[in-house]
Amino acid sequence: MNTEGDSETTFEEDSQPNDEVVPYSDDETEDELEDQEPAVEPEQNRVNREAEENREPFKKDCIWQVKANDRNFHEQPHFMNTKFFCIKESKYANNAIKTYKYNALTFLPLNLFEQFKRAANFYFLVLLILQSIPQITTLAWYTTLVPLLVVLGITAIKDLVDDVARHKMDNEINNRTCEVIKDGRFKIAKWKDVKVGDVIRLKKNDFIPADILLLSSSEPNSLCYVETAELDGETNLKFKMALEITHQYLQKENSLATFDGSVECEEPNNRLDKFTGTLLWKNTSFPLDADKILLRGCVIRNTDFCHGLVIFAGADTKIMKNSGKTRFKRTKIDYLMNYMVYTIFVVLILLSAGLAIGHAYWEAQVGNFSWYLYDGEDATPSYRGFLNFWGYIIVLNTLVPISLYVSVEVIRLGQSYFINWDLQMYYPEKDTPAKARTTTLNEQLGQIHYIFSDKTGTLTQNVMTFKKCCINGQIYGDHRDASQNSHSKIESVDFGWNTYADGKLAFYDHYLIEQIQSGKEPEVRQFFFLLAVCHTVMVDRLDGQLNYQAASPDEGALVSAARNFGFAFLARTQNTITISELGTERTYHVLAILDFNSDRKRMSIIVRTPEGNIRLYCKGADTVIYERLHRMNPTKQETQDALDIFASETLRTLCLCYKEIEEKEFEEWNKKFMAASIASTNRDEALDKVYEEIEKDLILLGATAIEDKLQDGVPETISKLAKADIKIWVLTGDKKETAENIGFACELLTEDTTICYGEDISALLHTRMENQRNRGGVYAKFVPQVHEPFFPPGGNRALIITGSWLNEILLEKKTKRSKILKLKFPRTEEERRMRTQSKRRLEVKKEQQQQNFVDLACECSAVICCRVTPKQKAMVVDLVKRYKKAITLAIGDGANDVNMIKTAHIGVGISGQEGMQAVMSSDYSFAQFRYLQRLLLVHGRWSYIRMCKFLRYFFYKNFAFTLVHFWYSFFNGYSAQTAYEDWFITLYNVLYSSLPVLLMGLLDQDVSDKLSLRFPGLYIVGQRDLLFNYRRFFVSLLHGVLTSLILFFIPLGAYLQTVGQDGEAPSDYQSFAVTIASALIITVNFQIGLDTSYWTFVNAFSIFGSIALYFGIMFDFHSAGIHVLFPSAFQFTGTASNALRQPYIWLTIILTVAVCLLPVVAIRFLSMTIWPSESDKIQKHRKRLKAEEQWKRRQNVLRRGVSTRRSAYAFSHQRGYADLISSGRSIRKKRSPLDAVIADGTAEYRRTVES
């Protein structure tokens, strides 16, 4: 018995994934699953279902219910959820968006709580408490309090600034206004005050504040045009249409105010293109679907006003449900740094324990027998050792650097400002600078392995341009004059002769204009006439200018091109279309529109000319057009060659053709067409079959070539990033052909690339799973895992996979569970065991399959995922994070990219045409994709190098400083006596050694920005974690240990049996402390000079200034005047002036510094000479390497006989406006002003044209 097969089965196990369809990536509701169950229900399943229904009678009440104009309805007790103890709130979210973390009351407690969650801060709080206990304190309380307050204060100020910015952004959105019905009238209200059930009015170009049910609009049949760029990245318009009942009765203000309908629908979810619900009104139920819902984030276009009922608000809206969780992002170095701090904690405890044991032993052997050491307390040696343990915890506390975290924050803040101020990442056309929206991830920009990019608006400009065409076998579009002579430099065509030209088309082939105007070749005029007539574009006149609204940007570009070449589409009615043909207006009778869909890949229109002839005009993908051509087409091969040339130039192509139709033939076909149009079942399939009958024996006119224009510098950027060993994956909702075309355009793919598609990958993964299953068994766990590559070595491979295949391969297809296993409580123990085992097997299989897919994809040089949902984008990013443990970056510009941006380690938003959703959710933002190379290869690499140098030096200087106490303890009976003055300990990390290391962390650079871009290979050190890891950490600790050893023992040897030149012996404890402190300050400041690669006046001033500051403060603190004022706090009176006037002391300091630094100089010299790094070599020859080498784009070579690639994507993802046009629902008689609706207008406010 196969329990797996019994427990879960797929809906369409035998069907292949559809490359054209964007799959749902969400789990379906139980109701949807049940709809697809077999009609015949087994008896046992019926019993189980009844048992479930009896157990959960409340389940049917869990439907989202909305009552119009009744806010109290949504406050009823059964709609309330318990939030905290007895505090309840409505399950209906309010419409306010909240991204901030604090308010005025919660800032201080919450911020302090968050800061003390950091191990180091909490440790120093405990230390401060310990220092207040007299029995164990060995240092004054201010040595810990001052640095702790500085750290907490700086971090709190930074958090406050960040949160104030969030408050401003939230307020800007929440305080937008719309009109809401209150007290029977439309009144202005803020977005944050809109509630579920409110009836609102929106005007043209308004953003939609919530997910609303469209009730009526100013357009015929209450159509409403919306721009969905925020949701799906498409800038072309979509149309929504209200129910006929609401369109008829809910036009006037008073009728909207008394509207009392209720809506029952699905719970809030993230499915953008799906909605199921019912409107209950006037004792009748009306079905609702996604075509009647306006989603938050969209913009009202070409519609004067519309009315709607709020269904989902705020966090419940689909755009917010798609935004994913806001994850707290931390860098790889952050995690590593924390582990290193924990390591230092362990070292600190071990050292303190060892010294405490030493003290207990010393007390037992020496202290108890030395009468002069008696302190009046008769404590046992073990108790004294216990107290000394805590004493040494306090003395050695600087091993754990309290200022480390705040220094890191300051450096990151500075790096963020450098990104903000970088003029080379400023886009003047839109006045958009680069913006670091977070200050905690800068060094991670230098460690990226994978980039996940959106296509539309990120790689491309989302602007379609008519570039070339082939008519009657002749290619037009090159730079040539009217006599067909080619010129490299020629002015663009002047369309001044055409009154309808929009002046936006740049075309350089004057010979085509000559052909159109002369009329020598009738096919040329026929070609542009076809473009003007065969489409579903809507036209509007604004201030006397034609304004086209197309279902896709491609179609808009073709109609606009025809307009510029003299064939302007002027107007249409339900059954006519008017064209201006070279200044002459002609109206054609539209007999049928054969609309596009993703299977047909073409559209046709049948028109009757004014002369009475019937013609069919068709445009579509070359693959489907060539199958339907008449066998006697003389230009077939020439057009095929032209298509190959266009494809090699990565242009998007369409073939155009036509045929003459006899009256009798049309009448016979039209009967079949009308019958299919009213079919009650399988209407789409019936229509497609009828379309096939007429779309045959076509005559080829030619082909168009449209450029989906890349953003400037995209190929160069991708090339540079590839040289930096960064892999780029493109994740897009576009069609496979389009995505592949852009892959070639931006040089992710080349002619030498072997492309693998979903079916190829599925077969490879199936074979691998079979092999793994065969190898599995009892002894599998004893056999070491061997990584077997999927492809033979060598060769350039790319993976192109659609969302449907992705779900199939990753076992994410929707499943249905058999009824017998849907019970929450299995009836028997055996059933429970079977269910658990089946579930475990499925999870293991799914995990193994996902691991295999990631391994396979990562063997490819490029990966393109097309027709994917926002959730799938995030899933792909998460898979690479999980299975490759790689640092990821996601870049996009629309709301459909938000989930991906939040999932990746670093999210980058393009502030472009598609709104600000992606930017608001991102960590970094800028206006053009090409700035990514500078962000990573310059700012990212510099930030990584600076942070690594900073951390290595910071650990070194703290160990060198603190471990002097350790060596000193062997000579003071392990008594926790400090080796320095208390004030020196307090100010060492705050003043004496902080500025040089901060400036190195902010300003240092191994090579210039130009050389960083010229040599992308320099980036690899960050990917491989070569500059900061546990090995480097322990080397820094060892360096610090050796430095502390030298700092203590050379002065100790110098002070033994010493007499000064004046006969006085300076070998007292205080002079010894000053000598060690002076040598330490000079050593650590000179050491950072050795670590500095990029010298500026500021660096030099900080190093020598820190040394001067130390001596200045020391002489002040050792003066008699300050001792008189604060005798207990300043006890080293006169020590500095007494000790430092001895030449012997200065010689000791110089010798100590030299012994500390000379070995470092020698090792650095040898390593740069014998084992130079890549950056060392470039530094050595930097004068010879001047400006960045000019990047040259690869020449495209057209190779005959190879399989060509073409994108025929000149249509929208869905059907166009053909249904609207042919039904007449979109055709207006007269536009009524807004006032006519607000006032008491007539009941006959607007009607459609009689069909």
| Contacts by 129-137, CB closer than 8 A, 24 or more apart | 130/390, 130/393, 130/394, 131/394, 133/390, 135/387, 136/387, 136/390, 136/391, 136/394, 137/391, 137/394
Return d(Cα 271, Cα 25) in angstroms, integer. 8
CA distances from 240 to 291, 294, 465 (A): 5, 7, 28
| Contacts by 115-120, CB closer than 8 A, 24 or more apart | 115/152, 115/155, 115/156, 118/405, 119/338, 119/341, 119/342, 119/345, 120/341, 120/400, 120/401, 120/402, 120/404, 120/405
Closest CA to 19 of 1028, 642, 734: 734
Handedness of CA 983, 988, 992, 998 (dihedral sign): negative
The distance between the two most distant Cα atoms of the chain, rounded to a whole number of Å, is: 131
Q: Burial-class residue 290 by CB neighbours within 10 Å (0-12, 13-18, 19+).
A: middle
The CA-CA-CA angle for residues 798, 801, 806, to 5°, reads 135
Which residues on adjacent β-strands are paired with residue 538? 549
Return d(Cα 1054, Cα 275) in angstroms, integer. 85
Decide if 198 is catalytic.
no
Return d(Cα 506, Cα 88) in angstroms, integer. 63
The CA-CA-CA angle for residues 630, 636, 642, to 5°, reads 150
> Which one from 454, 644, 982, 1004 is the annotated catalytic residue?
454
Return d(Cα 554, Cα 550) in angstroms, integer. 8
Element (H, E) at 238: strand 237-241
Dump the DSSP string for 995-1037: HHHHHHHHH--SS-HHHHHH-GGGGHHHHTT-SSSHHHHHHHH
3-state secondary structure of 652: strand
Q: In what order do the strands lie in the sheet with 284-288?
A: 64-67, 262-265, 277-281, 284-288
Residue 923 near residue 441 (C-beta atoms within 8 A): yes
Q: Burial-class residue 1152 by CB neighbours within 10 Å (0-12, 13-18, 19+).
A: buried
Strands 576-581 and 567-572: antiparallel
Buried b (16+ CB within 10 A) or exposed e, 520-529: eeebbbbbbb
How close are the terminal C-alpha atoms of the chain, in Å? 61
Residue 925 near residue 911 (C-beta atoms within 8 A): yes
Return d(Cα 1147, Cα 1212) in angstroms, integer. 83
Per DSSP, 109 falls in state H
- Token readout for 1224 is 């007449």
Strands 211-217 and 754-756: unpaired
- Token readout for 1164 is 């650095």
Q: Provide CB contacts within 8 A for 1092, sequence distance 6+.
A: 1000, 1004, 1099
Residue 1146 near residue 1075 (C-beta atoms within 8 A): no
- Token readout for 446 is 């230098």
Which residues on adjacent β-strands are paired with residue 899? none
Q: Which residues are identified as catalytic?
A: 454
